[in-house]
Structure 1
Amino acid sequence: MSTPPRSSPLALTVLALLHFQPLHPYGIQRLIKQWGKDQVVNVGQRASLYRTIDRLLATGLVTVRETGRDQQYPERTVYELTDAGRSTMSVWLKEMLAAPKQEFPQFPAALSFVLMLAPEEALDVLEQRAATLAQTLEAHDKSLAEQTEVHGLPRVTTLEEEYLRAVTAAELDWIRAVTDDLSSGRLSWSVDELTGIAQSTGRQALTDQTSSEPQHDPR
């Protein structure tokens, strides 16, 4: 077997679903949606699922169990987990749970340059985000209630949605605090003043770079 591929949420999901039973790609995609895992795993394009399965197959973490033939459907390959896949899944799962990973979501990146907007512009867009987060929070509450009270699912099957709800609630609380400060004037800035600071530090960075460059002998 070649070196196993790097862990990813989608690869872990494929291995985990195959742990329960052999499946073809369509069945994997259907279970991801039925079990609500599409909230935490990006499987919007089926091609990405097939590429992931191909990598797992090439490295011996999954194997072909059978190729099904049915007049109503095209030929479907059914995959199953190997012993190596089961072992790798356990290692990946423990690592992902235990070690926070440095990620770079777009919202903090955008926040780092919110100073390029006027305070009233920042207030407007952050209020829009707060409204969306409030809707998302309501959707999480509804989904959690349905899964536990209607479908009778145990709590362990909804921990990822509990986490997403907690993160959403925390972000919403923080944004509401920021928008309150913007509305009251406790948080304010001048775009022109900050532009001047940025230009000044940019010139200093160029000066520092020039002075640190090695001097070449012109001969």
Structure 2
Amino acid sequence: MEHRLEARMPSLTPLAFAALGLLNEGPMHPYEMFQTMTFRGDERNVKVRPGTLYHQVGRLTDLGYAEAVGTEREGNRPERTTYAITDAGRTALAEALRQMVAEPADEYPEFHLALAELENLPVPEAVDAVRARVVALERERDDIDTALARVHERELAERYWLDVSYVHAMLTAQIEWLSATVERIASGDIPWDGPAHPDDTTSPHSKEPSA
């Protein structure tokens, strides 16, 4: 995410980006923003800390994406400054969102590389490793189920937790694909020896059958 944000929004962190999205809903003071993020469970995507949030709102102001619109005081508490998004901030937010959603980022996930090189492990080790990952992903999906139950209990509008639904769907797809693939490896349906190409019997990738 950070790489994509830098393309449109110089030196803007994911937390600042999330804060800008909140200000697009209406003027808020940073503590109110923190409370809203906590209620919605935004920590699933960004690290939400009050002190850091205040700093990022200040950064938005420096960039001209937000502006102070008033202060208020409750009892003996310090004054709280309310901020609002500017036209420049609204434009930057929309442009960044369009780019981030429409254009897949150039990412090189570690697991994709591991799958490409999995054939370097003996079959039993490869099978054990993949099955262990399936178990770990199932635990993650259980956590997502808990998060979904929580947002339903809070009656939070669906548009605010589309990312949770998306992650759940992606985890389910990964679990299904990995479960089916590891069984094909274990059964020998995916050969684990021989040349990399059927016409290349002298390929350096040919090797003895794994134990």
TM-score (norm. length: structure 1): 0.68
- Residues 178-189 of structure 1 aligned to structure 2 (within 5 Å): 178-189=181-192
Relative to structure 1, is the Cα distance of residues 46 and 120 closer, same or farther in structure 2, using a 3 angstrom cutoff? Answer: farther
Task: Could you tell me which runs of 5 or more consecutive residues in structure 1 were left unpaired when the two chains were aligned.
Answer: 199-219
Relative to structure 1, is the Cα distance of residues 52 and 123 closer, same or farther in structure 2, using a 3 angstrom cutoff? Answer: farther
State percent identity of aligned pairs: 28
Going by fraction, where is helix more abundant, 1 or 2? Answer: 1
Q: Matched residues in 2 for 1:46 and 1:104: separation? A: 32
Relative to structure 1, is the Cα distance of residues 4 and 164 closer, same or farther in structure 2, using a 3 angstrom cutoff? Answer: closer
Relative to structure 1, is the Cα distance of residues 51 and 140 closer, same or farther in structure 2, using a 3 angstrom cutoff? Answer: same
Q: Which residue of 2 aligns with 1:115?
A: 119
| Local SS of the residue matching 2:161 | helix
| Local SS of the residue matching 1:187 | coil
Query: Considering only CA atoms, is the larger Rg found in Structure 1 or Structure 2?
Result: 1
Q: How many residues align?
A: 191
1:136 maps onto 2:140 in alignment:
yes
Cα shift at 1:13: 0.9
| Local SS of the residue matching 1:63 | strand
Cα shift at 1:60: 1.0
Q: Matched residues in 1 for 2:53 and 2:111: separation? A: 26
Q: Matched residues in 1 for 2:50 and 2:100: separation? A: 24
| Local SS of the residue matching 1:152 | coil
Q: Which residue of 2 aligns with 1:204?
A: none
Q: Matched residues in 1 for 2:51 and 2:108: separation? A: 24
- Residues 76-155 of structure 1 aligned to structure 2 (within 5 Å): 79-148=83-152, 150-155=153-158
Cα shift at 1:105: 2.3
Kept in 2: contact 1:12–1:93 (CA 8 A): no
Q: Matched residues in 1 for 2:77 and 2:124: separation? A: 56
Q: Matched residues in 2 for 1:44 and 1:126: separation? A: 33
Kept in 1: contact 2:40–2:151 (CA 8 A): no
Greater mean alpha carbon deviation, residues 158-167 or residues 75-84: 75-84
Q: Which residue of 2 aligns with 1:206?
A: none
Task: Could you tell me which runs of 5 or more consecutive residues in structure 2 were left unpaired when the two chains were aligned.
Answer: 1-7, 197-202, 206-211
Q: Which residue of 1 aligns with 2:204?
A: 197
Q: Which residue of 2 aligns with 1:42?
A: 46
1:18 maps onto 2:46 in alignment:
no
What is the one-letter code of the residue matched to 1:43?
Answer: K
| Local SS of the residue matching 1:142 | helix
| Local SS of the residue matching 2:140 | helix
Relative to structure 1, is the Cα distance of residues 174 and 7 closer, same or farther in structure 2, using a 3 angstrom cutoff? Answer: farther
Q: Which residue of 2 aligns with 1:174?
A: 177
